[in-house]
A and B are shown apart, each in its own frame.
Chain A
Amino acid sequence: MTTPPRAVSLRGVEKRFGDVAAVAAVDLDVRPGELMVLVGPSGCGKSTLLRLIAGLEEATAGEVWIGGRCVDNVAPGDRDVAMVFQSYALYPHMTVAQNLGFGLKVRGASREDIGRRVDDVAALLDLAGLLSRRPGQLSGGQRQRVALGRAMVRDPGVFLFDEPLSNLDAGLRLRTRDEIAALHRRLGTTMIFVTHDQVEALSLGDRVAVMDGGRLQQVGTPHEIYRRPANLFVAGFVGSPPINRLPLSRGADGHLAGGPFRFAGDWAFDEATLGVRPEDLGADPEPTGALPGATPADFKTTVLRVEALGSEQRVHLDGPAGAAWIARVSPALEVAAGDRLAVSVAWDRGHLFGPDGARVAAPPCPIPDLRT
């Protein structure tokens, strides 16, 4: 592979379908050679954004730059991108070899060149024995590899993936995810990968862009996205089980309070939301303080349900002020529905979100000042 990886830059990109803004004012820079994952719920505009980059949709406003040139008036085939579609979009009337070579043939490559490059990619993706078959004669995983090969054979500067794993079963999905990660390491090409699966996003991406309602909510490394979510949406969307929440409101003493907690401070708002990841809760029958930074027994509560997943347990709690909270605890803890637990919170890893949902920069106040 010889084409250098391209940078992709979106500047104020907007796409409207009638009155509906599918993508609204998106600014995003994808670095050369980076694997950027666009993640968000269904209908958030991530696939539309990918199609705008590919040139399959025309932006209502804004500019798309690929490899340092504005490609707004450039046909999809001339943008130096290749795309893997959710349905694979293999041409059913062509053999695997013809599918792989179609892009090269359209570009006028010689028969010898097409044959050589198709053979190279087929060898790389273990498709050599399938070249004379048609897509209808292949399994889902094989079709997925052909779709990948069709993108690779053209040696593009940017790969675009539109939820390519969503049609695979769980095992194959995991294996293919690893293969794509390995392919990215080997080729070093810029890749933009769309998925609605946050685990896929966090495990694959060099950086992750979280979208909702057509807007970018946050762009960052998987660690940043998970550990420092920009807002309540990102905190809630990324992470399974989802982040525990507790609504807070300013009391007569000026402190933000909710359930057993009170947060002292000079708050600029009257209402806020406390967010705590399930793994940042320590749950123990004895109030010993299970986590570093946690205090013994921030509150005591009743276990509603236990999900034993083998490597961990998810304990559903009757949380503060009646909120449904989940704690992720060790499988060694012997716990059952109806048990009483002492729950501790790792406050230094907690989050406070303002009334507009944005994360407040300051971490929650030290525990001695905060607790009721």
Chain B
Amino acid sequence: MRNRSASFARARAAPARAALLVLACAAMAAPFLWMAATSLMGQLEVFASARILPETPLWSNYPEALTAQPFARYFLNSLVFSVAVVAGQVGTATAAGYAFARIDFPGRDRLFMLFLATMMVPAVIVLIPRFLMIDALGWIDSYQGLISTELVSVWGIFLMRQYFRTVPRELEDAARVDGAGPWRIFRSVALPLARPAVATLALFAFIDAWKNLLWPLLVTRSMEMRVVEVGIAAFHSTYEINWPYQMAAGVVAVLPIALLFLFTQRYFVRGIQLEGIR
């Protein structure tokens, strides 16, 4: 009797839950849809009140926006930046995560806590010291300046450490008896088993780098070194704002991320789950 009333209550709640989810989805999707709609409007049409969709879609906004600045170069820079950050973060996070998870060295746990503590510091606070360091090295407006301070992710180290702790120790013991040293065990046993976590880390690192505006804006000067995000922001100058062009470039910039998400959704979910591993 109790079961029947419980399932009846669930059935009654289902439409309400569905309505809530539709509302949440709409709230999430609205900015993207608005961006897409704006990208097809005329300059003045954007400011027309109560207009959500363009009267006549201006598809020409896209080629014009993408040729108003050297976006091909910007995309290349974004790609180089993002791929290098992924490679760097995967390299450092897997090695450090494995060391924190498996190698006994004095002060290991304290050092790990110190690493974690840096996650509490807002990124903006370290922006100036980072800039001064890169300036001192003479790396302003260069790939090494853009990339070097982004190569370590404490979140990534935390993620990998948590994952490596779930790899059965007996596998590593078996490899030791088989004659493998620490590097070989890391490379041939632990790392291949951590592929799901590595994929998650790589995905998050790529997206973070791709949509990073503040650091590339600060550390790049020339158009040759600009990334896509900085290029999009450049449509918004002191005296002029070209919303349709900016939104058109924004739509194009978000496409790779959207496609990536479509094909790798499960790694996003896994990434969120992995943060809960103890």
Contacts and interface: CB of A to CB of B under 8 A. Distances in A.
Nearest to A153: B178
B176 A76 contact: yes
Contact of B170 (A81, A85, A154): A85
A345 B131 CA distance: 92
B171 interface: yes
B168 A76 contact: no
Contact of B177 (A54, A91, A92): A54
A78 B178 CA distance: 9
A83 B173 CA distance: 9
A102 B176 contact: no
A285 interface: no
Contact of A93 (B168, B175, B178, B193): B193
Interface string A76-95: 11100111011101111100
Contact of A56 (B168, B176, B181): B176
Interface of B is mostly: helix
Given A56-B173, A85-B174, A102-B175, A91 B180 contact: no
A55 B171 CA distance: 15
B168 A87 contact: yes
B107 interface: no
Interface in B120-175: 168, 170-171, 173-175
A16 to B, nearest CB: 16
A75 interface: yes
A83 B179 contact: no
Contacts of B176: 55-56, 75-77
A87 B179 CA distance: 19
A150 B174 CA distance: 10
A92 B175 CA distance: 13
B170 A87 contact: yes
Contacts of B195: 93
A91 B185 CA distance: 11
Interface in B189-217: 189, 192-193, 195
A168 to B, nearest CB: 17
A106 interface: yes
Contacts of B175: 91, 102, 106
* Most chain B beta-carbon neighbours within 10 Å: one of A55, A77, A150: A77
B170 A89 contact: yes
B104 to A, nearest CB: 11
A56 B195 CA distance: 26
A95 B193 CA distance: 14
B189 A91 contact: yes
B184 interface: yes
A98 to B, nearest CB: 10
Contacts of A102: 175, 178, 180, 188
B173 A77 contact: no
B177 A83 contact: yes
Contacts of A87: 168, 170
A107 interface: yes
A85 B174 CA distance: 8
A31 to B, nearest CB: 22
A83 B192 contact: no
Contacts of B179: 75-78, 103, 106-107
B60 to A, nearest CB: 52
B184 to A, nearest CB: 6
Nearest to A108: B179
A77 B168 contact: no
A300 B189 CA distance: 65
A85 B173 contact: yes
Given A81-B177, A106-B178, A91 B184 contact: no
A75 B173 CA distance: 12
Contacts of B178: 77, 102-103, 106, 150, 154
A89 B184 contact: no
A4 B188 CA distance: 30
Nearest to A154: B178
A11 to B, nearest CB: 22
A154 B177 CA distance: 11
Contact of A92 (B181, B188, B193): B193
B135 to A, nearest CB: 45
8 contacts: A54-B177, A55-B177, A56-B177, A76-B176, A83-B174, A91-B171, A91-B174, A92-B171
Interface of B: 168, 170-171, 173-181, 184, 188-189, 192-193, 195
Given A76-B179, A77-B178, A91-B171, 7 more contacts: A54-B173, A56-B173, A76-B177, A89-B174, A91-B175, A91-B189, A103-B178
